[in-house]
């Protein structure tokens, strides 16, 4: 398509998606003087999971001028609990992190937070539209034409640049066939909100997220500001297929019944939202950017949410994409360089989270998280990772490298122990067979 007969631009930047990533980059671009249109297919408030924020989120909310609004909506979060075999928990408290991440975060109802961020973007001059879906886009030498549907009314919108913040819909990922599902880590989830969930006795204030492993995956318990608790189970897809016609509530209840520690906490609980299911979690797009377009947050990649990284990575990638879009609009010749730097930086941080996530249910990782040692400040490095500090802090990154070495050594010891136990079992079996076959 040539650019000779294109209508004038309706805006400088079109942002597809009005979640945390879309609202973040829209607000910041508008503050730099660009005309921004942000189109959200749904209407706020809309239900969403991903209710637990990280300390590294806090500076981002502060930068866009929304920290006090967040504080009014959120429930304090001071750390994360991981269970031991004896039923107790080990708490990783954010105030022990290395670096300068804040010692706290918030737990939120996402429908409230997302609406606040969307309205905050509008208050900063963004043309923020709801119930307006971007169906497809066409690029040309000058910009991008978006085909949109606003409640059945179809039209087009011209922009100089496109930011895809469409989340797991991943508008451009699907249109350009960039999406690749993770072969290394496949999972699905079911979740609901409950009232009357008991607090972890090690956390009497209800200010900490609990993460409980079980045979088929892991479960989360997130205390929310309104007194309810978000409860979810991330499971292997094969396990979810075993529900075979069971209603969602019964299957959720039967799953929680096999989660260690969940029975006590759920004994007096009442479900107050439907049980929802979502498909395979982990994927990534082969490319993160191209001429006049860029992906942020879940539109590029989605990780298993075990470390509550989703909202942070969405907002952080939006903040980094700001410099790409702003720079490319001011100096188009720099676009490829800015995009390459953006992609390299984001992939490195995502990979650090992913390394832990892909090994989370291994026996070695379970042991290391249940009874950590702060040798060489390694535990504090892990806490910093849990706080979201995985990109630039050299001290944290060095501690994570040491942790990986400890993990590799422990895995080798565990493998040798497993092999020795297996050999011993086989030897005993052979001796029993020989004894049984011997003449009396």
The pLDDT tens digits for 266-282 are 999 999 999 998 876 68
- 49 has pLDDT over 80: yes
pLDDT at residue 1 in the model = 39
* Average pLDDT over every residue of 131-141: 97
Taking residues 234-249, report their average pLDDT.
82
| pLDDT band at residue 199 using 50, 70 and 90 as cut-offs | confident
Stretch 164-191: mean pLDDT: 90
Predicted pLDDT of residue 88: 81
pLDDT higher for 315 or 202?
Answer: 315
pLDDT at 53 over 80: yes
Is the model's pLDDT at 313 over the cut of 70? yes
**pLDDT value at 437 more than 90:** no
pLDDT of residue 4: 52
Please report, for the chain, the start and end positions of each structural domain, with discontinuous segments joined by +: 11-51+109-182+283-358, 188-278, 363-418
Could you give the percent of the chain with pLDDT greater than 70?
A: 91
User: Is residue 438's pLDDT more than 70?
Assistant: no
CA distance 132 to 83: 44
pLDDT confidence bin for 429, thresholds 50/70/90: low
Mean pLDDT of the residues in the chain: 90
What does the pLDDT look like over 249-261, one tens digit per residue? 899 999 999 999 8
Query: How large is the average pLDDT for residues 45-58?
Result: 95
* Mean pLDDT of the 64-89 span: 91
pLDDT band at 335, cuts 50/70/90? Answer: very high
pLDDT score for 173: 97
pLDDT in the model for residue 280 = 63
Hey, what CATH topology would domain 188-278 get? D-Amino Acid Oxidase; Chain A, domain 2 (3.30.9)
Question: Tell me, what's the pLDDT at 3?
Answer: 44
Instruction: Decide which of 1.20.120.160, 3.50.50.60, 3.40.50.2300, 2.60.120.920 is the CATH code for 11-51+109-182+283-358.
Output: 3.50.50.60
Specify the higher pLDDT residue, 13 or 363: 13
- Model pTM score: 0.91
Tens digits of residue pLDDT in 374-425: 999 999 999 999 999 999 999 999 999 999 999 999 999 886 655 455 545 5
pLDDT at 2 (0 to 100):
45
pLDDT-wise least confident of 47-56, 70-79, 241-250, 304-313 = 241-250
């Amino acid at each position: 398509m040539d650019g000779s007969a294109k209508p004038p631009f309706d805006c400088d930047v079109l942002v597809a998606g009005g979640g945390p990533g879309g609202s973040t980059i829209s607000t910041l671009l508008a503050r730099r003087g660009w005309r921004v249109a942000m189109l959200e297919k749904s209407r706020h408030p809309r239900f969403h999971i991903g209710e637990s924020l990280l300390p590294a989120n806090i500076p981002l909310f502060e930068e866009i001028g929304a920290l006090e609004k967040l504080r009014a909506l959120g429930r304090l979060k001071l750390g994360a609990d991981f269970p031991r075999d004896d039923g107790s928990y080990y708490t990783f408290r954010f105030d022990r992190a290395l670096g300068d991440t804040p010692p706290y975060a918030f737990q939120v109802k996402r429908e409230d937070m997302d609406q606040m961020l969307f309205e905050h973007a509008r208050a900063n001059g963004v043309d923020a539209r709801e119930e307006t879906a971007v169906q497809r886009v066409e690029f040309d030498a000058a910009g991008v034409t978006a085909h949109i549907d606003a409640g059945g009314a179809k039209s087009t919108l011209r922009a100089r640049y496109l930011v895809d913040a469409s989340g797991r819909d991943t508008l451009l990922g699907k249109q350009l066939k960039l999406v690749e599902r993770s072969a290394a880590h496949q999972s699905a989830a079911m979740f609901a909100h409950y009232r009357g969930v008991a607090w972890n006795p090690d956390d009497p204030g209800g200010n900490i997220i609990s993460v409980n492993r079980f045979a088929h995956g892991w479960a989360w318990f997130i205390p929310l500001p309104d007194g309810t608790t978000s409860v979810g189970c991330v499971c292997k897809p094969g396990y979810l297929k075993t529900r075979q016609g069971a209603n969602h509530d019964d299957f959720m209840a039967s799953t929680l019944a096999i989660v260690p520690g969940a029975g006590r906490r759920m004994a007096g609980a009442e479900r107050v939202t439907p049980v929802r299911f979502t498909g395979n979690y982990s994927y990534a797009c082969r490319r993160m950017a191209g001429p006049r377009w860029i992906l942020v947050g879940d539109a590029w990649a989605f990780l298993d949410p075990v470390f509550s990284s989703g909202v942070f990575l969405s907002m952080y990638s939006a903040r980094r994409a700001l410099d790409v879009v702003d720079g490319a609009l001011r100096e188009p010749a720099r676009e490829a360089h800015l995009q390459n730097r953006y992609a390299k930086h984001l992939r490195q941080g995502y990979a650090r989270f992913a390394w832990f996530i892909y090994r989370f249910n291994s026996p070695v990782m379970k042991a290391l998280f249940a009874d950590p040692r702060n040798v060489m400040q390694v535990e504090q490095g892990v806490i910093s990772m849990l706080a979201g500090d995985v990109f630039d802090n050299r001290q944290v990154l060095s501690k994570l490298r040491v942790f990986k070495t400890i993990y590799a050594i422990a895995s080798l010891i565990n493998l040798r122990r497993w092999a020795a136990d297996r050999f011993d079992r086989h030897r005993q079996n052979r001796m029993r067979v020989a004894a049984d076959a011997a003449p009396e």
